[in-house]
Amino acid sequence: MESSSNSSFDIFENGTSIVNESEFNEEEYLSASLGERYISTPVVVFLTLIYVIIFITGVVGNVFTCIVIARNKCMHTTTNYYLFSLAISDVLTLLLALPPDVSSIWEAYPWRFGTFFCIIKSFISEMTSYASVLTITAFTAERYVAICRPLLSQSLSSLSRAVKIIIGIWIVACVCALPYPVHTRVFYEIQNPYTNESIEESLLCNIPTEWRIPMRYMFQFSTFAFFIIPMIVITIVYILIGAELWNSKLGIDNTKNKQAAAQAAKARKAVLKMLVAVVIAFFVCWAPFHVQRLMTIYVPAGKWTVQLLEIQTYIFYVSGVLYFVSSTVNPILYNVLSKRYRRAFKMTLCRCCHRNKYTNDLSLCRSSPSVGTGTSVAIYTNQKLFVKHKPIKNGLFRNSKL
């Protein structure tokens, strides 16, 4: 919001009058123009504790994801390459974007980290968020092809192709994020209404007034391209994957092997729950962030009331927390819930002290061989492998594994 710098109008935006220059209160003027500089101590402590938990769990979870994938050859798959890229993006977000957000909780203004870090933070926070969303979308499409179009997956699935897509994702993310550092500056937002001199405590890291209207189009584009479209794509694709899993019999004859059928049904239900959790987590983590942005764009400067400012403040803090929660929940949704990842994690931790303890777990990283001319459908249940052969129809075969 802008404040009037004309000395003939000695009125705050909230309606409080300034009697004369001698009674001018700089702190009150800043508060009326920029909002409260400090919030209550209990809220500060509570939010800081949440951010500390997010930071520790997010960094540890994503760093371990990178280590486990890098140090276990059986984890070098196209899927895990996407997850490695996602973990890198999340770590950068937590390391470079979270600390300034925490500082803004303790003191909303002025900006105290200098021009260079302001521009870098603006670029990194946008670029990594775009890379995360695009990676999740590409990973979702990869899952769909692997589960619903296995023949196509065999021809398309290659590590080199995955690397090229990941590089493309980061290039697109960098290009789309460039307008933000280009238009972000450190500047004084408020001037003294009597002297027209800048008030030092109003120093901000933001987009200057003259560039805010053009940048509205960039805000709209980012919301549309990096939230609405990915949300629609992810939802539709996971519905299709869920329908495929729900209708699949997984190659097991219920009458001949009831134990395997029960395990398969349990595994199928777990996967479906995970798919739903992914969609909900994506929406919950990113929706408040974009709502807060769009609210800033579409509410005219003269229409901001005390109630709207309060709502915007609440959304600001909630969206900030959830923005970083997404970086913490990603390794849980995409890695920790995977039995293969958990076993690779154990092998990584125990490799030095117990070299042979988890050797047998490598079987989980290998594909089960097909026998004869039929389709081999494999399911891992209680460390045992049940295989059911089906006759080939129309010269095609499907090799699905859960």
pLDDT digits (tens, 9 = 90+) for 375-398: 333 322 333 333 333 333 333 323
Question: Model-level pTM?
Answer: 0.77
Percent of the chain with pLDDT over 90: 32
Cα separations (Å) of 212 from 2, 293, 307? Answer: 12, 12, 23
d(CA 24, CA 193): 9
Q: What integer pLDDT is reported at residue 10 of this predicted model?
A: 43
**Which of the residue ranges 120-134, 143-157, 210-224 has the most confident prediction, judged by mean pLDDT?**
120-134
Q: What integer pLDDT is reported at residue 256 of this predicted model?
A: 55
Q: Is 99 exposed, middle or buried (0-12, 13-18, 19+ CB in 10 A)?
A: middle
Higher pLDDT, 358 or 286: 286
Q: Is residue 379 part of a domain?
A: no
Q: What is the DSSP letter of 378?
A: E
Q: What integer pLDDT is reported at residue 235 of this predicted model?
A: 92
d(CA 342, CA 349): 11
Is pLDDT above 90 for 195? no
For the chain, the C-alpha Rg in angstroms (whole number) is 27
Is pLDDT above 80 for 299? no
Is pLDDT above 90 for 176? yes
d(CA 132, CA 330): 9
Q: What integer pLDDT is reported at residue 145 of this predicted model?
A: 85
Phi and psi torsions of 118, nearest 5°: -60, -50
- Domain, as residue range, for 327: 21-359
Q: Is residue 212 part of a domain?
A: yes
The alpha carbon of residue 266 and the mean position of all alpha carbons in its chain are separated, in whole angstroms, by 29
pLDDT, tens digit, 9 for 90 and up, residues 63-90: 999 998 888 888 888 888 998 999 999 9
Do the Cβ atoms of 332 and 285 come closer than 8 Å?
A: no
Q: Residue for token digits 């460390």?
A: 383
140 token code pair? 């979702």
Q: Is residue 58 part of a domain?
A: yes
Q: Quickly list DSSP for 227-266.
A: IIHHHHHHHHHHHHHHHHHHH--TT--TTT-HHHHHHHHH
Q: Is residue 355 part of a domain?
A: yes
| Range in 70-84, 112-126, 192-206, 339-353 with the lowest mean pLDDT | 339-353
**Which of the residue ranges 173-187, 272-286, 334-348 has the most confident prediction, judged by mean pLDDT?**
173-187
When pLDDT is cut at 50, 70 and 90, the band that residue 330 belongs to is: confident
Question: Sign of torsion, CA 107 109 112 117?
Answer: positive
Q: What integer pLDDT is reported at residue 338 of this predicted model?
A: 74
Q: What integer pLDDT is reported at residue 53 of this predicted model?
A: 95
Percent of the chain with pLDDT over 70: 75
Domain count, the chain: 1
Q: What integer pLDDT is reported at residue 132 of this predicted model?
A: 93
CATH for 197:
1.20.1070.10
Q: Is residue 367 part of a domain?
A: no
d(CA 304, CA 175): 33
pLDDT, tens digit, 9 for 90 and up, residues 122-139: 999 999 999 999 999 998
Please state whether the peptide bond connecting residue 179 to the residue before it is cis, i.e. omega within 30 degrees of 0.
no
Q: Is residue 203 part of a domain?
A: yes
Q: Is residue 396 part of a domain?
A: no
Closest C-alpha among 290, 315, 156 to residue 229: 290
Q: Is residue 201 part of a domain?
A: yes
Q: What integer pLDDT is reported at residue 34 of this predicted model?
A: 80
Is pLDDT above 80 for 121? yes
Closest C-alpha among 49, 45, 48, 3 to residue 26: 3
Question: Sign of torsion, CA 35 38 42 45?
Answer: positive
pLDDT, tens digit, 9 for 90 and up, residues 229-242: 999 999 999 888 88
Report the pLDDT averaged over residues 95-110: 90
Phi and psi torsions of 400, nearest 5°: -115, 145
d(CA 381, CA 401): 12
Helix (H) / strand (E) containing 205? strand 203-206
Beta bridge partners of 185: 206
Closest C-alpha among 289, 290, 344, 284 to residue 317: 289
Do the Cβ atoms of 364 and 343 come closer than 8 Å?
A: yes
pLDDT, tens digit, 9 for 90 and up, residues 17-39: 444 566 678 888 888 778 788 88
One-letter amino acid of 27: E
Report the pLDDT averaged over residues 271-291: 85
Do the Cβ atoms of 213 and 298 come closer than 8 Å?
A: no
Cα separations (Å) of 345 from 80, 89, 200? Answer: 13, 20, 51
Cα separations (Å) of 329 from 34, 58, 318, 346? Answer: 33, 8, 16, 20
Phi and psi torsions of 318, nearest 5°: -65, -45
Q: What integer pLDDT is reported at residue 146 of this predicted model?
A: 81
